[in-house]
Amino acid sequence: MKKHNFSAGPCILPQEVLKKAAEAIENFNGINLSLIEISHRSKEFIEVMETARGLVKELLNLPEGYSVLFLQGGASLEFLMTAYNLMKVNGKAGYMDTGAWSAKAIKEAKGFGDVDIFASSKESVYNHIPKKYTVPTDVDYIHITSNNTIYGTQFKEFPKTNSLLVCDMSSDIFSRQLDFSKFDLVYAGAQKNMGPAGTTLVIVKDEILGKTGRNIPAMLDYQTHIKAESMFNTPPVFPVYVSMLTLQWLKDLGGVAAIEKLNEEKAAILYKEIDKNPLFNGFAKKEDRSTMNVTFTLANDDHKEAFDKIWNAAGVSGIKGHRSVGGYRASIYNAMPKESIQVLVNAMQQLEKEI
């Protein structure tokens, strides 16, 4: 039976990407060596890294003056590196608290200076994006999380600020068209829309670095990695390669504009069923619903056993909601086909018929 993978991450990747990646494990580009045993200094892998970074710039239409890095440590390390590289000595930063990951970013930033949490949806279990807030002007940077994987909310408009704007885009990068000239630093773990866990994409405006007045350890300094072209230490070869394949797949599909249209269509199918089926309730406020992570609950938990049996029998996988929300979470990243969305919708409709 075909599995329909709605896992929040690591998540579904295009089948053709998985096939090429598997082939490269045994024999990379016909050189009779495995991708994971060649030198990261070899011309073969340097070409992979350069191609991957070039595809990022092309797909996101990045302006001149931005560097693209493939690092390690996930978004969790970026919570620390952001503050290290941008918050000045005795400085201050502004954060929006819209979910578990922004809360963790806030915790790290507090180790470097003052943190102004100028907007939060914590009191409502993060079921919406705050609308009424005043953006502080006395900060070194503003930090937001564009898409909240656990709670299924997503920024549709971004804060306007004269300070630096930093964004964690781990779960929705490459899913929609954005004007990246509005951002000064963007980071994203690969394991949603790019590749397997193990590498982290960082996009940073060069001119903002080196102005904190603090001594930054070499491994945590973005300038170190820019100068070394993401090769300061041995990079995560396999995740970078699979990310390159995924970005090429996206380009061949028509780029971000094409996938944005498809993502909106997929999300609309599932949200339509949630709204019309009396057995289910959407968790996130409608105006802030994510196109990547659809969160919903049963109107009556007595139906849980019956519903779980139905979707399991249909080959659906990975829709159990996060423990902080409960219910269900269907993550419908770029590689998720419409067919799988319909399988889940059919399961929801079957429950309605049987109850």
Q: Which sequence positions are flagged as catalytic?
A: 101, 168, 192
Task: Quickly tell me which residue has 């004269």 as its tokens.
Answer: 162
CA angle 284–3–301, rounded 5-degree value: 40
Q: How far apart are CA 270 and CA 292, in angstroms?
A: 11
Q: Where are the alpha helices (DSSP H) in the chain?
A: 15-26, 43-59, 74-86, 100-109, 222-227, 237-253, 255-276, 304-313, 338-354
- Residue 253, classified by CB atoms within 10 Å of its CB into exposed (0-12), middle (13-18) or buried (19+), is middle
Residue 33 burial (C-beta neighbours within 10 Å; 0-12, 13-18, 19+): middle
Q: Are 205 and 66 in contact (CB under 8 A)?
A: yes
Q: Do you find a cis peptide bond into 337, omega within 30 degrees of 0?
A: no
203 DSSP β-pair partners: 68, 186
Distance of alpha carbon 184 from alpha carbon 85, whole angstroms: 12
